[in-house]
A and B are shown apart, each in its own frame.
Chain A
Amino acid sequence: MFYRENGQFKTTYRADQQIFPIAQDRWAVLLLIAAAFIVVPMLSSGYMFRAILIPFLIMSLAALGVNILVGYCGQISLGSGAFMAVGAYAAFNFFVRVPGMPLLLALILGGLCASAFGILFGLPSLRVKGLYLAVATLAAQFFSDWMFLRIKWFTNDAPSGSVSVAGLQVFGIPIESPTSKYLFCLTILVVLALLAKNLVRSAVGREWMAIRDMDVAAAVIGIRPMYAKLSAFAVSSFIIGVAGALWGFVYLSAWEPAAFSVDLSFKLLFMVIIGGMGSIMGSFFGAAFIVILPIFLNQFLPFLGRAVGVPISTVVTSHAELIVFGSLIVWFLIVEPHGLAKLWSIGKQKLRLWPFPH
């Protein structure tokens, strides 16, 4: 009843081809964006911004990028952390070395560098796929780990190996307070998410999905695998690179290569699996899940331990985190391979008939 699209007639192609053709979707997204921009900053505390909201936004952006590659184009990647690192370090170099470099331009240039890096390490995908590719992308990860640790030029010859940025501002507005950081990340996320949403339903997006479903068949009907795969690598690494730059600039503000380790790559893949492969919405769910779960476990397990009378140390919590992550991955793959996004769409389907099922 709440989600019934009967009677919403489209009389022009324009109306039919909107990003959100169903009125309820359109309103829900608009409301959501408005709430994120207006209501959330009024209600949240500094801790909420720093610990949950800002990491959630940036991780959503990164998960979005990974989802384009893994979910839409079917190229399993375990090197996403490397693309984030390249984005962060490239943006850092542009920002520090070029005097008067605007922040936004530095972010975009960082994303473009990540894009180039992604295409380079995406080249093997033309020859190999699936399992072999997953391992091949690890090469990107280890190479970038080494590159940013050992080649001093990338860190602007910082003796400690860690780099930092300060004095962020966009169009004269300083990005220093948690609220402004949040709004800045949110703006970038909304813009890129809408672009991505549009892209995956365009001709390019459909090519990606054809390649994902069966690349030989796709090649037979005239899709160029090279073009499709490399464009997926380029677009996804661009988004991941921008996310990486945001992660370094806005969230960490001082970082070292360990911040973008292979662990981060795995986490990004988990976000996509848990959130839902091949779904823009799913990236947000996955990121929220992975960001909030450790915080939840950190609060909940000691509480539970006190209730039962068993002291729970932080070591135990960190192990519990691994156990919960691991079992959740397997559980999701078995029970709901399409992730949380599928639950969401099942919910919408139910609302279509509610309260009068057939």
Chain B
Amino acid sequence: MAFFLETLLGGLMAGMLYSLVALGFVLIYKASGVFNFAQGAMVLFAALAMARFSEWIPGWTGIDNRIAVNLAAFLLAGMVMFVVAWLIERLALRHLVNQEGTTLLMATLGIGYFLDGIGQTLFGSNIYEINIGMPKDPMLAFESVFEGGILINKEDLYAALIAAVLVAMLSLFFQKTSTGRALRAVADDHQAAQSIGIPLNRIWFIVWCVAGVVALVAGVIWGSKLGVQFSLTTVALRALPVVILGGLTSVPGAIIGGLIIGVGEKMSEVFVGPYVGGGIEIWFAYVLALVFLLFRPQGLFGEKIIDRV
């Protein structure tokens, strides 16, 4: 029982991190109708910037306090992400207004490749560390309830907490502010939104900035867990089925989808994996999402799209 709960908790924690990356996808899709394949590249880019800045800042300014350095690096990396967002809007998306979703999808694939290349050229392509001082040692919980207790990774706990705060803030932003409303209008119909005076360019810039910040947070958390390296982009690929499962337009969907995928992955790996040679967590989420799509194409919380001729 304790082992089962431990697996479940581990899955939930991993799922929270998936949700965080998935959130980046959902945000951009919800607010601009673009399915952003570059999210993985953005996570890598942001994490690389953060890791390198926190390495360079002591040399530049002489500050040696870890909290101050990390804060400064975070702000600098955030600024870099804003610049990236601005450039993406200015150089690519502005010229693709009113194009079909698939064209935009392929454009973001290109943007992703570009960011991968430029990020590694600017910041280097070795494995870097982000040390934001999260406690690494696991702790035991519920020792009184179960024999031997449950092993919980403190790091995961903090990550889940940060993710939860971020999600709450974003939901408020989307639901309660007028900018959030404008974002949702743009997602529904570019042309209609433009015609009632919503400045599409500015909206897109804001959305990509928000996605950049989400990517940064995801990058910092994943990066401090796994180290910053190229394989971080595959984390984004792992988060794709989450989006499908939860529905492309739903923030709660991203969260719940992430939790389901996280738990499913861990459970399948631990309880089914040994029978089929292991490693099934690579595709389990995808096949789960695929089967799910057959029954509910719009995902758990997605909007049903009605096509008319």
Contacts and interface: CB of A to CB of B under 8 A. Distances in A.
Contact of B282 (A121, A128, A142): A142
Interface string A68-96: 00000010100000000000000000000
Interface in B96-118: 96, 99, 101-103, 105-107, 109-118
Contact of A150 (B101, B277, B293, B308): B277
A330 B286 contact: no
Contact of B113 (A143, A262, A325): A325
B240 interface: yes
A322 B287 contact: no
Contacts of B248: 131-132
A220 interface: yes
Q: Looking at chain B's contact residues, is the secondary structure mostly helix, strand, loop, or mixed?
A: helix
Q: Looking at chain A's contact residues, is the secondary structure mostly helix, strand, loop, or mixed?
A: helix
B308 A216 contact: yes
B293 A128 contact: yes
Interface residues of A, number: 49
Given A146-B283, A150-B277, A132 B293 contact: yes
A136 B114 contact: no
Nearest to A79: B286
Contact of B118 (A130, A270, A323): A323
Interface string B165-195: 0000000000000000000000000000000
Contacts of A121: 290
A138 to B, nearest CB: 6
A326 B95 contact: no
Interface string B262-295: 0000000000000011111011001101100110
Contact of A325 (B29, B91, B103, B110): B110
Given A132-B248, A333-B107, A217 B113 contact: no
Contacts of B297: 127-128, 132
A322 B114 contact: yes
B210 interface: no
Interface in A132-149: 132, 134-136, 138-139, 142-143, 145-146, 149
A123 interface: yes
A320 interface: yes
Contacts of B83: none
B293 A127 contact: yes
Contacts of A334: 92, 95-96, 107
A329 interface: yes
A143 to B, nearest CB: 4
Interface string A214-237: 111100100000000000000000
Contacts of B102: 74, 76, 130-131, 134
Interface in A304-348: 315-316, 319-330, 333-334, 337
A49 interface: no
B86 interface: no
B125 interface: yes
Interface string B243-259: 11000100000000000
A124 interface: yes
B131 interface: no
A317 B147 CA distance: 56
Contacts of A320: 117, 121
A330 B38 CA distance: 12
B204 interface: no
Contacts of B112: 326
B184 to A, nearest CB: 18
B229 interface: no
A330 to B, nearest CB: 4
Contacts of A138: 237, 240, 286
Contacts of A149: 279
A266 interface: yes
Contacts of A135: 240-241, 243-244, 289
A293 interface: no
A327 B114 CA distance: 6
A287 interface: no
Contacts of A269: 106, 109
Contact of A220 (B35, B106, B115, B309): B309
A151 interface: yes
Given A135-B244, A217-B309, A321 B283 contact: no
Nearest to B248: A131
B285 to A, nearest CB: 9
Given A134-B105, A262-B237, A326 B293 contact: no
Contact of B286 (A139, A327, A328, A329): A139
Nearest to A266: B109
A130 B297 CA distance: 12
Interface of A: 74, 76, 121, 123-124, 127-128, 130-132, 134-136, 138-139, 142-143, 145-146, 149-151, 214-217, 220, 262, 266, 269-270, 273, 315-316, 319-330, 333-334, 337
Given A139-B241, A139-B283, A333-B96, 19 more contacts: A127-B293, A134-B102, A136-B290, A139-B286, A139-B287, A139-B289, A150-B278, A216-B309, A269-B109, A319-B116, A320-B121, A321-B117, A322-B116, A323-B118, A325-B114, A333-B99, A333-B110, A334-B95, A337-B103
Interface of B: 29, 35, 91-92, 95-96, 99, 101-103, 105-107, 109-118, 120-121, 125, 237, 240-241, 243-244, 248, 276-280, 282-283, 286-287, 289-290, 293-294, 297, 307-309
- Closest A-B pairs by Cβ, 7 of them: A329-B110, A326-B114, A322-B117, A326-B113, A139-B286, A323-B117, A150-B277
7 contacts: A121-B290, A127-B293, A127-B294, A150-B276, A220-B309, A325-B110, A325-B114
